[in-house]
Amino acid sequence: MSASNRIQWLHKYIVEMRYPNASRLAERFGISHRQAQRDVDSLRNDFGAPLAYSAERRGFYYTEEFSLPSYTVAANEYDYVEAVTGTTAAGARQEILQMQIPYSAVVKIPDKLTRLELQQFIIGEESRGHYICEFHSVEMFLGLLLAAETDITIVKPDWLRQRLVRAAERVLRNNNYKGDEE
């Protein structure tokens, strides 16, 4: 993952008052503590974030309201974009993808194989069999859930579960599924 993704993750957790720190950032992205501290410094110095550290909460917070500026990157820099746009790094097309703070969801995954298949999205376990996932493309994530050959349940958020149900209903309707017929 790039520094921009790490900084967006850090910003999101600060905004959510989850008090992230450099150690959690390093653990989450598999980088050194020193690199994580450079990302924190970049958020403060390069983006002008009003960042402060709470010794009591052992993490960072904003001293005033702050928004991370939005920017774009070439889509072929990210593996997941190939699945969404159909382009490859070798392709001539350069899709531009608006970067955003990732969406979060809690999904119930009943088996280890499916959990391994979705590992790139899983950032933690909320409870036994319930996993916290982050993703940038709602459509791609829902497509992966639909394609999985197991019974995955979106526990939350409700809007994502409703969107999945609407998509499944649309597919069934478009294919004239009657329910009882074979």
Q: What tokens were used for 62? A: 């904003």
Confidence band (pLDDT; 50, 70, 90) for 172? confident
Domain ranges for the chain: 3-62, 71-99, 103-174
* 23 vs 37: CA distance, rounded Å: 8
Confidence band (pLDDT; 50, 70, 90) for 93? very low
Q: What letter represents residue 30's amino acid?
A: G
User: What pLDDT does 167 receive?
Assistant: 84
CATH code of 3-62, in short, is 1.10.10.10
Q: Exposure pattern of 14-33 as b/e (b: 16+ CB <10 Å)?
A: beeeebbbbebbbebbebee
Q: Per-residue pLDDT for 180 more than 60?
A: no
Q: Which of 28, 62, 61, 32 is nearest to 6 (CA)?
A: 28
Q: What mean pLDDT is predicted for residues 158-162?
A: 88
3-state secondary structure of 72: strand
From the CB of residue 6, how many other CB atoms can be counted at a distance below 10 Å?
22
Q: What mean pLDDT is predicted for residues 118-145?
A: 87
Q: What mean pLDDT is predicted for residues 70-99?
A: 42
